[in-house]
Amino acid sequence: MGTADAERALTVAQLVENDVAAIDVNMGCPKEYSTKAGMGAALLSDPDKIESILSTLVKGICKPVTCKIRILPSKEETISLAKTIEKTGVAAIAVHGRKKEERPQHPVHCDVIKAISEAVSVPVIANGGSHDFIKEYSDLEAFQQATAASSVMVARAAMWNPSIFRKEGPQPLNNVIQEYIKYAVRYDNHYTNTKYCLCQMLREQLENAQGKKLHAAQSLEEICEIFEMGSFYKETSALLEARKASLETKDQGEDDQLEDVDVITMAVKFDKREYPLQITPKMCLLEWCRKEKHPQPVYETIERPGDRLFRSVVTVAEQKYRSSFWEKSKKLAEQAAAIACLRTLGVPEGKRSEEASPLVNKRKRHDQELLHNGEHREELLAEAACKKPHFIPRASDSSVS
């Protein structure tokens, strides 16, 4: 997590501690969006705040707490900070072997990471070796030995070619790309994230024809076509759609078995494009209930945990109505329930094709009255302006003694 406040950090950690293996505090990010809020690398200049945050977390949760830092201007300062962190009771310290103003093109300071490893008793995780050291699995051990660290953390090198973790050696990049795309399609990964990861893999090849096509891609299907995997995309998508339909049918069957048989159900959806501005089925239903002297409609909406979709039941005159479809929002679900009720009762629902709807006509009259009143007001103002006396200053009025 990124944080600059011990108590807020603890509140968040307690929310998630049962769902995670550990809590790590980022104290090395040099990006402005992090440092301007006092987080990330901004903490490196405030050891007291670092101590407060880590001590609060260590005492307040049951899971291990770790942190990641960058090195300070001098080796001695960095070792002193690492010892302060060790005293808070953290389980490990990750060290990015660059100063906060340094970037990946600058050499990683293995000597400083090694000095920290030798100065503290908690595990030290070495980071920052992607550019200088790590090209394949054997390089991980070389970086670990150079820093005397307990383990190694890898970011960019793993994005460039995830197969660096193969002890037998990395796979050809084309093979890795194809395997990655298969995962992206099977798990419906968003195309923008997929494209970003592929750009990280291609690197120098981004300027060739294939790389330029990748930059222009706007969907997973387009990405697959670029890498000659169009048929895989179509076949996999068809299988996924069939599975989705099967699961929805199963869920619908289970829902139907559990649902109240007294509810009138209709397969309807609300599409706001079919209705005039400011007219909705809920408004039409409310207007009808008032006219018929019924209590106003009562909506009960539930959220399905599995996919977080909504369905609503509306009660009108002691009868319940709903749509058979699950909607993306509570508002859409309520509108669909209102449509089911109106159509069952044979009452106009306010669609554009129902211009004779009482509510539509009422709105029209209201708008016309507003327009008429507005025009009448403008006429009165214009008339008053014409009648307003005009004063021409005399010569004696233009001078002040």
Q: Determine the Cα–Cα distance for residues 200 and 214; give it in Å rounded to an integer.
A: 12
pLDDT of the residue at 278? 84
DSSP label of 99: -
Find residue 96's DSSP bridge partners: 70, 127
**Catalytic: which of 29, 110, 284, 341?**
29
Per-residue pLDDT for the chain (401 aa), expressed as one digit of tens each?
A: 999 999 999 999 999 999 999 999 999 999 999 999 999 999 999 999 999 999 999 999 999 999 999 999 999 999 999 999 999 999 999 999 999 999 999 999 999 999 999 999 999 999 999 988 899 999 999 999 999 999 999 999 999 999 999 999 999 999 999 999 999 999 999 999 999 999 999 998 999 999 999 999 999 999 999 999 999 999 999 999 888 878 776 666 555 544 567 899 999 999 888 899 889 999 999 999 999 999 999 999 999 988 899 999 999 999 999 999 999 999 999 999 999 999 999 999 998 877 555 555 555 555 555 455 555 555 444 444 444 444 333 333 333 33
Q: Which amino acid appears at position 106 of this protein?
A: H
Q: What is the DSSP letter of 200?
A: H
Q: Are 288 and 341 in contact (CB under 8 A)?
A: no
Question: Counting beta carbons within 10 angstroms of the beta carbon of residue 103, is it exposed (0 to 12), middle (13 to 18) or buried (19 or more)?
Answer: exposed
| Residue 314: Cβ within 10 Å count | 28
- pTM greater than 0.95: no
Please say whether the beta carbons of 129 and 108 come within 8 A. yes
Q: Torsions phi, psi of 303, nearest 5? A: -110, 130
Contact criterion met (CB below 8 Å) for 339 and 271: no
In this structure, are residues 85 and 67 in contact, taking their beta carbons and an 8 Å threshold? yes
- Identify the pLDDT of residue 125: 98
Token pair recorded at residue 117: 């490893």
Q: How many CA atoms lie within 13 A of 49 on its CB side?
A: 16
Q: Is 29 a residue of the active site?
A: yes
pLDDT in the model for residue 259? 58
CA dihedral 161→166→168→171, nearest 10 degrees, is: -30
pLDDT value at residue 356:
53
Quote the pLDDT of residue 272: 87
* Predicted pLDDT of residue 243: 86
Which tokens is 256 given? Answer: 């139907």
What is the CB neighbour count within 10 angstroms for residue 82?
Answer: 23
Strands 319-323 vs 92-96: parallel, antiparallel or unpaired: unpaired
Positions of E strands within 59-208? 65-70, 92-96, 124-127, 151-153
pLDDT for 382 equals: 47
Partner residues linked to 319 by β-bridges:
316
Q: How far apart are CA 340 and CA 344, in angstroms?
A: 6
